[in-house]
Amino acid sequence: MDSLTHAAIGACLGELMLSRKLGKRALLWGAFAQNFPDIDTIAALWLAPSRNLLVHRGFTHSFLFAFLGALLLTVIANRWHKAQGVPWRHFFLFFLVQLLVHDLLDTCNAYTTGLLEPFSQKRFSFHLLYVADPLFTIWPLIALGVLLLLKSTNLRRVRWAVAGLGLAGAYLGYAAFNKNQVQAQVKASLEQQQIGSSRFFLTPTPFNTWLWMAVVEADSGLYVGHRSVFWPKSSQADFRFFPKNQELLSKAEDPQEVEDLKVFADGYYTLDHWNDTLVFNIPRFGQMQGWQNPNARFTFHYFLSPPRLDNKLVMQRGRAKGWSGEAFQHMLQLIFAESERNASETTRR
């Protein structure tokens, strides 16, 4: 989840849990604590990019770190605000809730989160929200704006904080409903097209929960397709096959780099050549406007060789590439195309 969303949610929680003792300073503590687990981003200054992929949202996003981090922040806040008389247990509960909410929100994205580290390397992702979704962020952000304007004594502050968090929670439930609906329809499409698979996953396309991308594992590669929640049940998702090209791994020059990428990919990856460059793709982060071009390159592409190529911005470089008004318009047309066609056919009948 993006830092702005974490900050707005943290501030709303701060209003509900600490504002009686700290006033508007509770908003600042909430925004800070909610972003505290992302302290792991500084590791990118010295770690290799492939190793940093696993460190980010690793231990600092675990249940154990939430407990330890809450203890540390409680000690600091307790000394800072000794005059306000906030009980130690109140500070600890506040920070524990903030860190746990951060971790659980991050599991809603595609990146994966190491909730059980260091006891287990299993990483969790529920693929409910894109990393930045305006319809999720807008509600706590509006609430935060109002909280900053209202006086600390205004009785309506609690209502605004509850509304901001409640509407964001309702949207999260809406996303889960949409995913469940599309998942059933994708399963039906796979059966009708006789695409056998032991597993697949759905992930939302950028900035919405209406158009979903399906990634289906096959013996020699992956099938990738898109489907909108507004399409009728009879409509099938069109799948494009991407060969895994596993044999190309023999050309990689750094075995540890390959192992890190394979763990991060959780088995969903492909390899190909971009001219003379060997590229490792992870489809769960989508394609560059894949709804517009089924053959589009994947957003996450890691350069395996030659080793001189830079991978420091591997998570960012594909997200904004190719975006335009035309691409956005094409996305909206695809989201509503089948439902509009179905409605017009019903009208003609």
User: How far apart (Å, rounded) are the C-alpha atoms in residues 135 and 142?
Assistant: 11
Mean pLDDT computed over 253-258: 90
Q: What is the pLDDT of residue 346?
A: 36
For the cut 90, the answer to whether the pLDDT of residue 236 exceeds it is: no
Mean pLDDT computed over 66-82: 95
> pLDDT tens digits for 286-298?
998 888 888 889 9
3-state secondary structure of 240: strand
Mean pLDDT computed over 316-338: 83
User: How far apart (Å, rounded) are the C-alpha atoms in residues 159 and 168?
Assistant: 14
Query: Picking from 33-47, 152-166, 310-324, which range would have the lowest pLDDT averaged per residue?
Result: 310-324
C-alpha Rg value of the chain to the nearest Å: 22
Q: How many residues does the chain have?
A: 349
Q: Which long-range contacts (CB under 8 A, 24 or more apart) does 253-262 make?
A: 253/304, 253/305, 253/306, 253/307, 254/50, 254/304, 254/307, 256/50, 257/48, 257/50, 257/304, 258/304, 260/48, 260/50, 260/51, 260/53, 260/54, 261/50, 261/53, 261/302
Averaged confidence pLDDT in the chain: 91
pTM of the model: 0.92
Query: Picking from 128-137, 237-246, 308-317, which range would have the lowest pLDDT averaged per residue?
Result: 308-317
With beta carbons less than 8 A apart as the criterion, state whether 240 and 225 touch: yes
Sheet holding 298-305, edge to edge: 270-274, 277-287, 298-305
Quick one: which of 273, 276, 268 has its CA closest to 244? Answer: 268
| pLDDT bucket at 326, cuts 50 / 70 / 90 | confident
Q: What is the pLDDT of residue 242?
A: 95
Query: Picking from 134-143, 167-176, 191-200, which range would have the lowest pLDDT averaged per residue?
Result: 191-200
φ/ψ region of 264 (left if φ > 0, alpha if ψ in -120 to 50, else beta) reads: alpha
- In sequence order, what are the beta bridge partners of 348? none
**Residue partners of 326: CB distance under 8 A and separation at least 6:** none
In percent, the amount of the chain with pLDDT more than 70 equals 96
3-state secondary structure of 154: coil
- How do the domains of the chain map onto residue ranges? 3-126, 184-326
Mean pLDDT computed over 274-292: 90
Mean pLDDT computed over 332-349: 58
**Residue partners of 300: CB distance under 8 A and separation at least 6:** 281, 282, 283, 284, 285, 314, 315, 318
Quick one: which of 177, 147, 116 has its CA closest to 12? Answer: 147
Q: What is the pLDDT of residue 342?
A: 47
Q: What is the pLDDT of residue 341?
A: 44
